[in-house]
């Protein structure tokens, strides 16, 4: 069911991009937007993991440098029947973790130094199992594609907005100066990026629930993962992660901007609420027993 929902939302996001292209230039505009999307996804497919790891100053570690952490990841990957990913540590005071990479054979998991201090052994195991679930479910690739397409739509909206401010584009066309022109402008600048964002959030939230369930089965301790989520969210609310950016917030196990706290922030959050995730994990624990 989750996979079907993701497929539908991805199709809707791609359709929105093509519709914007059609609005700009008919069939040629649609073809151009499709080409732009393919090129950006190609770049993201090959280089997004390197970019994000460098952005956060992640340092790759080996068994000699972080034996407990690497051994834990190795054991979980054997349980899950998947290749061993590269393991990274990010030096920051805010507990969190994420996974990246285009496929299970070219993946990486990154944890912050503080998460290893804040969580118990079993809680950290639950977090790593969640991230490995993202890799096995290929969520890292899906999130990259979604973020790229949504980014293209937002970029187009910004271009249209500045073009309107400086009187560029098709403003001299009589038809565009009327109601049709105003409606086109509203769709481009307001409706399209808002719809893209909501679709992106829908996909992200769906994949988080699935990774929680899969990860809990990998480690066999859904309640440990639930406890870890509660701890990480507590720190996110009380301690700012200075390295975090909105464009990468969907990658983390808990949104690093959870501390904003307003209802509007919750509406546009990349993650489902921790309360919902904990409730589902508790239900899973009862089923496993």
Active site positions, annotated:
131
Q: Which of 270, 287, 252, 34 is nearest to 149 (CA)?
A: 34
User: Can you tell me which residue has the tokens 């051994």?
Assistant: 71
Shortest CA distance to 77 belongs to which of 108, 51, 121?
108
Secondary structure of residue 89 in the 3-state scheme: strand
Would the annotation count 106 as a binding residue? Answer: no
The answer to whether 91 and 144 are in contact (CB under 8 A) is no
- Determine phi and psi for 110, rounding to 5 degrees: -130, 135
Residue 130 assigned as binding residue: yes
Q: CA-CA distance, 253 to 119, in Å (whole number)?
A: 14
Is the distance from CB of 31 to CB of 8 less than 8 angstroms?
Answer: no
Q: Is the dihedral of CA 263, 268, 271, 276 positive or negative?
A: positive
Determine whether the annotation assigns residue 208 to a binding site.
yes
The DSSP output letter for 24 is H
Q: Can you read off the two tokens belonging to residue 117?
A: 């201090």
* Residue positions forming the annotated binding site for Zn(2+): 130, 134, 208
């Amino acid at each position: 069911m989750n996979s079907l929902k993701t497929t539908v939302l991805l199709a809707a996001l791609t359709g929105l991009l093509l519709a914007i292209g059609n609005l700009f230039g008919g069939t040629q505009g649609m073809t151009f937007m499709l080409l732009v999307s393919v090129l950006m996804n190609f770049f993201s497919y090959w280089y997004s993991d390197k970019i994000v790891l460098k952005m956060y100053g992640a340092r790759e570690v080996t068994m000699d440098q972080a034996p407990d952490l690497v051994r834990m990841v190795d054991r979980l990957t054997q349980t899950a029947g998947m290749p061993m990913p590269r393991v990274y540590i990010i030096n920051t005071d805010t507990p969190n973790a994420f996974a990246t990479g285009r496929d299970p054979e070219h993946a990486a998991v990154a944890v912050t130094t503080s998460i290893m201090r804040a969580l118990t052994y079993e809680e950290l195991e639950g977090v790593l199992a969640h991230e490995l679930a993202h890799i096995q479910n290929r969520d890292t690739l899906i999130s990259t594609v979604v973020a790229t397409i949504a980014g293209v739509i937002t970029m187009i909206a910004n271009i249209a907005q500045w073009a309107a401010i400086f009187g560029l584009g098709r403003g001299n066309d009589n038809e565009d100066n009327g109601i049709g022109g105003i409606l086109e402008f509203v769709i481009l600048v307001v409706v399209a990026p808002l719809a893209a964002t909501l679709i992106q959030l829908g996909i992200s939230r769906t994949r988080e629930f699935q990774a929680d369930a899969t990860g809990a089965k990998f480690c066999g301790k859904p309640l440990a993962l639930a406890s870890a989520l509660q701890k990480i969210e507590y720190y996110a609310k009380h301690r700012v992660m200075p390295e975090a950016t909105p464009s990468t917030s969907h990658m983390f196990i808990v949104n690093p901007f959870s501390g904003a706290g307003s209802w509007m922030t919750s509406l546009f959050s990349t993650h489902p609420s921790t309360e919902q995730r904990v409730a589902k994990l508790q239900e899973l624990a009862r089923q496993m027993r």
